[in-house]
Amino acid sequence: MPIIGIDYDKCINCGLCLKECGRRFIKDEESGKIFFHDPAGTCFLCGHCIALCPTNAIIHKNFGDELYLFEGIGNLESYVPFETISNFLRANRSVRHYKRKKVPNHILRKVFDVMQYSPTGANLRAEKYTILSDDEIIKKLSDAVMEELLNNPFTNSVYKDSFENFKKLYHSPIYLDAPHIIFVSSPGNTYIEHIHIGINVTYGRLAAQSLGLVTCWNGWTILAFNYNPKLLKLAGIHGKSWGVFTIGYPSVNFLRCPPRPKKRVKGLDY
């Protein structure tokens, strides 16, 4: 059990752990002490009690990474001011123009490291990661995805002309010759797993942007996987829910943020 209890030499009895997790922390009214009590083993390892405790009094083991601290963690609005993150988010683009240059593994690892900290309901963390970097395997998957979409009457009518153009321009038309394809998969096919994957991919795409890389969701592959799950073998992945995005160095430079129409927010007066 990763959460073992409370170090009472450090504990100041502030009650934050109790407020955060009233199911597993209980207060003994006679002694006034707070105890960790989880006989059913229902703790899903969110770690909030560890992160909140002002004196680091929560005893734990085999929890994963060491505790991670950085200057400014308690004052994040100053660490990354709103204007900075607003500009960063507004400038994020789905980029389809890549240099034919592989991204070093140590940089790709940074993207995956950030993705693994994306939030999930009940801290499920069921996502698995796969990256394809072999040009010929990417080409085979591209061809198979395109064939699957062209065999379907609806997607054929929507994409046929575009695919004919892309075949003249790219070695791997579905992936626009991106050097790497990242897959996020989950074992189930529920709305919550789709949400988890969406958040997960967004973390990865924003991390990539901060490293000078560009990305783009690839809905074509997800459509083809739904039509023909046998294609999963080509990518070397499993599961019933997927997120797919291309990643690499950009061969273009966006110089401005495109305009977007403002949407009204019901219940919020401007």
- The reply to whether 179 and 54 lie within a common domain is no
Q: What is residue 66's predicted lDDT score, i.e. its pLDDT?
A: 74
- The reply to whether 123 and 217 lie within a common domain is yes
- The reply to whether 107 and 174 lie within a common domain is yes
Taking a C-beta distance cutoff of 8 angstroms, is the pair 139, 171 a contact? Answer: yes
Q: What is residue 190's predicted lDDT score, i.e. its pLDDT?
A: 94
In a domain, 261, yes or no: no
In a domain, 72, yes or no: no
- Output the CA–CA distances (angstroms, integers) from residue 190 to 196, 229, 241, 242, in the order listed: 10, 17, 8, 11
When pLDDT is averaged across residues 86-104 and rounded to a whole number, the result is 97
In a domain, 186, yes or no: yes
Cα–Cα nearest to 115, from 225, 247, 233, 221: 247
- The reply to whether 162 and 38 lie within a common domain is no
Residue 131 has pLDDT above 90, yes or no: yes
- The reply to whether 188 and 140 lie within a common domain is yes
**Alpha carbon 164 to its chain's center:** 32
pLDDT (tens digit per residue) in 136-188: 999 999 999 999 999 999 999 999 999 999 999 999 999 999 999 999 999 99
- The reply to whether 134 and 205 lie within a common domain is yes
In a domain, 102, yes or no: yes
Give the structural domain span for 220: 93-248
- The reply to whether 109 and 220 lie within a common domain is yes
The CATH number given to whatever domain includes residue 211 is 3.40.109.10
- The reply to whether 54 and 130 lie within a common domain is no
Q: What is residue 63's predicted lDDT score, i.e. its pLDDT?
A: 79
In a domain, 66, yes or no: no
Residue 270 has pLDDT above 70, yes or no: no
- The reply to whether 50 and 145 lie within a common domain is no
At a CB cut-off of 8 Å and minimum separation 6, what does 192 contact?
121, 124
Last residue of a domain, one of 19, 45, 60: 60
- The reply to whether 137 and 222 lie within a common domain is yes
Global model pTM greater than 0.85: yes
The CATH number given to whatever domain includes residue 42 is 3.30.70.20
pLDDT (tens digit per residue) in 20-72: 999 999 999 999 999 999 998 899 899 999 999 999 999 998 877 677 889 99
Counting the structural domains of the chain, the total is 2
Mean pLDDT (the chain, rounded): 95
- The reply to whether 55 and 121 lie within a common domain is no
pLDDT band at 1 (very low <50, low <70, confident <90, very high): low
In a domain, 23, yes or no: yes
Taking a C-beta distance cutoff of 8 angstroms, is the pair 141, 231 a contact? Answer: yes
Collapse the DSSP code of 213 into the 3-class scheme (helix H, G, I; strand E, B; otherwise coil) and give the result.
coil
In a domain, 264, yes or no: no
In a domain, 268, yes or no: no
- The reply to whether 155 and 43 lie within a common domain is no
Last residue of a domain, one of 12, 39, 60: 60
Residue 134 has pLDDT above 70, yes or no: yes
Residue 269 has pLDDT above 80, yes or no: no
Residue 70 bridge partners (DSSP): none
Distance CA(230)–CA(227), nearest Å, equals: 9
Distance CA(150)–CA(158), nearest Å, equals: 9
Helix H segments across the chain? 16-20, 48-52, 76-79, 82-90, 105-115, 135-151, 153-169, 191-210, 219-227, 232-235
Last residue of a domain, one of 41, 60, 79: 60
pLDDT band at 6 (very low <50, low <70, confident <90, very high): very high
Distance CA(235)–CA(220), nearest Å, equals: 14
Distance CA(68)–CA(240), nearest Å, equals: 33
